[in-house]
Copies of this chain bind each other. A is one copy, B any other.
Amino acid sequence: MSDCTIKHDCKNCTTRNTTEWRDLGAKELAILAKAKTSRTFEPGEIIFNQGTQAKGVHCIQSGLIGMRRISEDGKSVLIRLCAGGTTVGYGAFLSKTQQLNSAEVLTPSVVCFIQGSTVSSLLSDNPKIGERFLQHAIADQTKTETDHFMNLTKNVRFKLLHVLLTYYERDGYQDSTGLSTLELPILRRELAELVNAQPETLSRALRELQDEGLLTQDSKQFSFPDMKAITDEIRAF
Binding site for B on A (CB under 8 A): 69, 71-73, 75, 77, 79, 91, 94-95, 97, 100-101, 127, 130-131, 133-135, 137-142, 144-149, 151-153, 196, 236-237
| CB nearest to A91 among chain B residues | B138
Contacts of A133 in B (CB 8 A): 134
Q: Contact check: which of B135, B145, B146, B148 meets A94 at CB < 8 Å?
A: B135
Task: Contact check, A152 vs B77: say whether CB atoms are below 8 A apart.
Answer: yes
CA distance A6 to B142 in the complex (A): 32
Q: Contact check: which of B72, B130, B153, B237 meets A127 at CB < 8 Å?
A: B130
Task: Contact check, B135 vs A100: say whether CB atoms are below 8 A apart.
Answer: no
Contacts of A72 in B (CB 8 A): 236-237
Known: A72-B237, A137-B138, A148-B151. 16 other contacts (CB 8 A): A69-B145, A71-B153, A75-B152, A77-B149, A77-B153, A94-B134, A95-B139, A95-B142, A133-B134, A134-B134, A134-B137, A137-B137, A137-B141, A144-B145, A148-B148, A151-B152
Q: Which of A73, A94, A97, A134 has the most CB of B within 10 A?
A: A134
The answer to whether A71 and B141 touch (CB under 8 A), given A127-B130, A130-B130, A134-B134, is no
Q: Contact check: which of B71, B73, B94 meets A138 at CB < 8 Å?
A: B94
Task: Contact check, A69 vs B149: say whether CB atoms are below 8 A apart.
Answer: yes
| CB nearest to A148 among chain B residues | B148
Contacts of A134 in B (CB 8 A): 94, 130, 133-134, 137
The answer to whether A145 and B95 touch (CB under 8 A), given A127-B127, A137-B138, A153-B77, is no
Contacts of A91 in B (CB 8 A): 138, 141-142
